[in-house]
């Protein structure tokens, strides 16, 4: 366990070092902010690093193992189809507490002046990820080829991108990236691999491929549909004012 922790700490240093070096170079030659502010930022980076190390270590030894065990045990049940509704529920709940999603929805509410409420967007994204997880579990259970889900889904994304307001298109694609955060992806992949290991004829490597693309897809579609609903409501509001 100590080796695992040190390995995680090393990996996090490698990940954060380029950003830290870039910041220090810019501070010396371009930004030249006061020393007090510079020290404050460095302290923040140190605390962030410590937090990330403990979070990733916790995910590795706890979160991932839980996901694997859930997938493996459910695959052995005669009613293993239960993984589909369970996948939806877990996807919904995990997204609700995903830190990056919380930050994104709060910032969007701020930037739109409260027009797009945090809770509305958060619920939309949570439902989207829930649907994605249900689709991912269906894919593994019934050995559905990835392209049967990905190609129609992303064609819908492209069509909606042309039909939607620019703001909602930008929000949708940002949200698609954010929903594939560390908590969602680690749990999804672990559960999917556990499920694939327990199903005869399933291959964890092949069946696990493309699952993150599915998770990113559905929230994009739902956010753009939400944008269309907002557009219709705004038009109705203007018409009512005109009358």
Phi-psi region of 164 (alpha: psi -120 to 50; beta: other; left: phi over 0): beta
From 75, 105, 132, give the residue that closes a domain: 75
CB 53 within 8 A of CB 8: yes
* Side-chain-side CA neighbours of residue 220 (13 Å): 23
Q: Verify that 226 and 151 share a domain, yes or no.
A: yes
Task: Give the pLDDT confidence of 137-154 residue by residue, as tens digits.
Answer: 899 888 888 899 999 999
Q: Verify that 63 and 111 share a domain, yes or no.
A: no
Q: Verify that 155 and 236 share a domain, yes or no.
A: yes
93 contacts: CB under 8 Å, gap ≥ 6: 126
Q: Verify that 68 and 129 share a domain, yes or no.
A: no
What's the number of domains the chain is made of? 2
State phi, psi for 209 to the nearest 5 degrees.
-70, 130
Q: Verify that 189 and 215 share a domain, yes or no.
A: yes
Mean pLDDT, rounded, for 73-97: 88
From 17, 42, 75, give the residue that closes a domain: 75
Instruction: Identify which of 29, 143, 136, 25 has the alpha carbon closest to the alpha carbon of residue 86.
Output: 136
* Side-chain-side CA neighbours of residue 229 (13 Å): 11
Domain that holds residue 13: 1-75
158 vs 236, more confident: 158
From 44, 75, 106, give the residue that closes a domain: 75
**What does pTM read for this prediction?**
0.80
């Amino acid at each position: 366990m100590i080796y695992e922790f040190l390995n995680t700490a090393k990996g996090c240093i490698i990940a954060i070092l380029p950003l830290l070096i870039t910041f220090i170079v810019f501070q010396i030659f371009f930004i030249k902010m006061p020393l007090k502010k510079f020290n404050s930022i460095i302290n923040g980076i140190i605390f962030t690093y410590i937090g990330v190390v403990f979070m990733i270590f916790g995910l590795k030894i706890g979160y991932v193992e839980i996901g694997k065990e859930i997938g493996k045990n459910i695959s052995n049940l005669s009613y293993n189809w239960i993984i589909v509704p369970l996948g939806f529920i877990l996807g919904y709940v995990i997204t609700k507490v995903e830190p990056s999603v919380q930050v994104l929805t709060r910032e969007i509410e701020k930037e739109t002046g409260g027009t797009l409420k945090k809770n509305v967007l958060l619920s939309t994204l949570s439902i989207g990820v829930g649907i994605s997880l249900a689709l991912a579990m269906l894919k593994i259970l019934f050995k559905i080829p990835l392209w049967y889900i990905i190609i129609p889904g992303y064609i819908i994304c492209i069509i909606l991108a042309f039909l939607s307001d620019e703001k909602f298109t930008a929000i949708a694609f940002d949200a698609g990236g954010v929903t594939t955060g560390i908590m969602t992806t680690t749990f999804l992949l672990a559960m999917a691999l556990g499920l694939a290991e327990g199903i005869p004829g399933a291959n964890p490597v092949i069946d696990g491929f493309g699952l993150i693309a599915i998770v990113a897809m559905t929230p994009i579609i739902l956010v753009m549909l939400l944008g269309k609903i907002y557009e219709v409501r705004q038009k109705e509001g203007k018409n009512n004012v005109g009358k």
